[in-house]
């Protein structure tokens, strides 16, 4: 299979591992080599409840027995998509109320940008240096890493970039700004956290000039930082909330959420301001509903902060410079990209899956399922520390 993978399935790196997967369950992925691999990456923060969570699998099977796809987005009232949107409305503060379901995080970002331009009638966008929002042309236009975008220009015009945590840059947010788009925790840059009341001041500036604040919670969302959404730690509410990854329980999904008033601007002048065939698909929504309701009903959010403490107490070594992030969204600074890649490769040989951050390869990513047990955390951290001592 591996040779066919490299022959027929497109890769965009020269170093894909081609790891052959047999099955996955809980915190483990089982290889075709017969070995169990402890997963500290969780599909890059997507497997909130681990692999093949029984509630999620059951929900998918029940929906598959009824029907899969019946109509393009937003035409028919279907039980599971409606239930997901209602659950999100109940679990988030006002004025967040209505949700547009799409197929991926990047599509949700594109939808949010369109919504902000349409509602405000403005053209300028403020985005952040080192930001990552996905890989469609729209999402790439607001990404703050030149090396990843240079060859794909022209991208969206009128996007200006400011520095995360630098309040002097607020002056660039003006009456011409349609929206400010920002990750609640900067992911690809190494899980960089907002400092002090930075987000409150950012929101205040947006309000002063009538710009909408779009928060990208595609990675921290759904309990990973100890709250359903990370913005709840910072005493603000965005005008548009973007989510994806962990809301699906392992199926492809994204969404953007806003007030009824803002969202309704996509339904006229022109009508069908955003359309998608499969967004809000019943099968995906069944999986999402099972995932989100389990996160809300269980103790997983509170446990995420306890598990962070355990990780931080175990990952102590002179080769670890720093650990960024919050909850189960941790980036371990190993000094250089070369060393980090070497450590990740050796950990894999020893049965532990870790990864690195997209822009800052010196950071080792630790984003396990929220359901990971303390024993599994201890086992994985022991492998990391042994590896650091070894190489
Ligand atoms: C913060 C953030 N925004 C957007 C995206 C894009 O999501 P997707 O890969 O589902 O398009 C990602 C994916 O890694 C992300 O981490």
Euclidean distance between CA atoms 31 and 37, whole angstroms: 7
Q: Is 104 left (phi over 0), alpha (psi -120 to 50) or beta?
A: beta
User: Same domain, yes or no, for 209 and 246?
Assistant: yes
Distance in Å, CA 218 to ligand 1 centroid: 6
**Overall domain count for the chain:** 2
- Clarify whether residues 317 and 259 are in a common domain: no
pTM of the model: 0.97
Do 357 and 279 lie in one domain? The reply is no
> End of a domain among 243, 278, 297?
297
Range of the domain at 83: 55-297
Considering the domain architecture, whether residues 199 and 343 belong to the same structural domain is answered as no
Q: What is the mean pLDDT of residues 334-363?
A: 95
Cα-based distances in Å from 88 to 92, 295, 296, 305, 318:
6, 12, 10, 22, 43
Task: State the average pLDDT for the chain.
Answer: 97
Tell whether 136 and 154 lie within a shared domain: yes
pLDDT at 14 over 90: no
Residue 88's domain is classified under what CATH number?
Answer: 3.40.640.10
- Check whether residue 25 and residue 66 sit in a common domain: no
User: Average of pLDDT values for 12-31?
Assistant: 95
Sheet containing 124-128, strands listed edge to edge, beginning at the edge strand earlier in sequence: 98-102, 254-258, 240-243, 212-216, 177-183, 124-128, 159-162
CATH code for the domain in which residue 337 is found: 3.90.1150.10
Same domain, 66 and 195: yes
pLDDT band at 15 (very low <50, low <70, confident <90, very high): confident
Q: Ligand 1, from 46, 48, 238, 244: best to mutate by most atoms within 8 Å of Cβ?
A: 244
DSSP character at residue 81: H
SS3 175: coil
Q: In which band, very low, low, confident or very high, does the pLDDT at 215 lie, cut at 50, 70 and 90? A: very high
- What tokens does 102 get? 């799409």
pLDDT interval class at 258 (50, 70, 90): very high
Cβ neighbors of 340 (< 8 A, separation 6 or more) are 334, 356, 361, 362, 363, 364
Pocket test for ligand 1, best of 12, 137, 187 (most atoms within 8 A of CB): 187
Distance of CA 262 to the CA centre of its chain: 23
Say whether pLDDT at 203 is over 90: yes
Same domain, 161 and 222: yes
Least confident of 229-243, 296-310, 353-367: 353-367
Same domain, 248 and 168: yes
Ligand 1 contact via 130 beta carbon (within 6 Å): no
- Please tell me whether residues 43 and 67 are part of one structural domain: no
Last residue of a domain, one of 297, 321, 353: 297
Among the three residues 262, 297, 332, which one is the final residue of a domain in this structure? 297
Using CA positions, which residue lies closest to atom 14 of ligand 1?
A: 134
Q: Are residues 236 and 115 in the same domain?
A: yes
Is residue 333 pLDDT above 90, yes or no?
Answer: yes
pLDDT score recorded for residue 131: 98
Task: State residue 100's pLDDT score.
Answer: 98
Instruction: Find the angle CA(297)-CA(298)-CA(303) to the nearest 5 degrees.
Output: 140
- Residues 187, 329: one domain? no
The backbone region for 368, taken as left when phi is positive above 0, alpha when psi lies in -120 to 50, beta otherwise, is beta
> Is the pLDDT assigned to residue 197 strictly greater than 90?
yes
Greatest extent of the chain over all pairs of C-alpha atoms, in Å: 63
* pLDDT higher than 90, residue 319: yes
Query: In degrees, to the nearest 5, what angle opens at C-alpha 122 toward C-alphas 119 and 124?
Result: 125
């Amino acid at each position: 299979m591996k040779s066919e993978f490299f022959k027929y399935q497109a890769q965009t790196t020269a170093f894909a591992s081609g790891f052959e997967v047999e099955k996955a369950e809980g915190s483990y992925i089982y290889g075709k080599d017969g070995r169990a691999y402890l997963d500290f990456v969780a599909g890059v923060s997507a497997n909130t409840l681990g692999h093949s969570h029984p509630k999620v699998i059951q929900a998918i099977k029940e929906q598959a027995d009824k029907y899969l796809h019946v109509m393009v987005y937003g035409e028919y009232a279907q039980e599971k998509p409606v239930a997901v949107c209602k659950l999100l409305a109940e679990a988030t503060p006002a004025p967040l109320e209505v949700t547009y379901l799409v197929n991926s995080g990047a599509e949700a970002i594109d939808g949010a940008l369109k919504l902000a331009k349409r509602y405000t009638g403005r053209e300028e966008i403020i985005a952040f240096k080192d930001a990552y929002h996905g890989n469609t042309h729209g999402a790439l236009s607001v990404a703050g890493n030149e090396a990843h975008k240079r060859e794909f220009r022209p991208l969206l015009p009128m996007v200006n970039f400011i520095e995360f945590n630098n309040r002097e840059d607020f002056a660039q947010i003006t009456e011409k700004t349609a929206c400010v788009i920002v990750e609640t925790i900067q992911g690809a840059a190494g899980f960089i956290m907002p400092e002090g009341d930075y987000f409150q001041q950012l929101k205040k500036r947006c309000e002063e000039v009538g710009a909408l604040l779009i928060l990208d919670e595609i990675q921290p969302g759904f309990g990973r930082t100890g709250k359903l959404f990370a913005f709840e730690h910072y005493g603000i509410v965005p005008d548009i909330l973007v989510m994806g990854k962990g809301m699906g329980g392992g199926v492809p999904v994204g969404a953007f959420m806003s007030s009824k008033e803002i969202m309704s601007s996509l339904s006229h002048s022109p009508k069908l301001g955003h359309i998608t065939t499969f967004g809000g698909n019943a099968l995906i929504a069944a999986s999402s509903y099972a995932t989100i309701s389990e996160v809300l009903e269980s103790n997983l959010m509170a446990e995420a902060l306890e598990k962070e403490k355990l990780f931080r107490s175990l990952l102590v070594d002179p080769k670890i410079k720093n650990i960024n992030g919050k909850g189960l969204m941790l980036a371990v600074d190993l000094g250089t990209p070369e060393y980090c890649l070497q450590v990740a490769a050796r950990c894999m040989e020893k049965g532990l899956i870790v990864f690195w951050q997209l822009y800052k390869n010196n950071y080792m990513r630790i984003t396990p399922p929220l359901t990971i047990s303390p024993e599994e955390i201890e086992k994985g951290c022991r492998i990391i520390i042994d590896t650091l001592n070894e190489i």
